[in-house]
Amino acid sequence: MRLPRDLAGDELVTRLEALGYRVTRQTGSHVRLTRVGEAGGHHVTIPRHRELKIGTLSRIVKDVAGHLSLTPDELAERLWGG
């Protein structure tokens, strides 16, 4: 899985919103997104930094992929294409 190295937190929020996540609150520089679906509710917190650290992005992708019953590679394909 190849993750973007210069992805901003706000860009990730926008892309996750396209998958059904909605902003439920913001505390300081962190945004909490929630997705309610067949598998129940899922929350993920995204830091609104100019560039997300690769480890942070990787953990978020794995967490969201697990909730959506996708592999991290499948989710990355949906979020960023090839």
pLDDT score at 21: 94
Residue 72 has pLDDT above 90, yes or no: yes
pLDDT score at 1: 67
Which residues partner with 37 through β-bridges?
Answer: 40
Q: Which two tokens stand for residue 16?
A: 């996750």
CATH homologous superfamily of 9-69: Hypothetical protein. (3.30.920.30)
Q: Which two tokens stand for residue 19?
A: 């998958």
Mean pLDDT across the chain: 91
> How many secondary structure helices (H) and strands (E) does the chain include?
3, 3
Question: What is the secondary structure of 16-35 as a DSSP string?
Answer: HHTTT-EEEEEETTEEEEEE
Distance, C-alpha 34 to centroid of its chain: 10
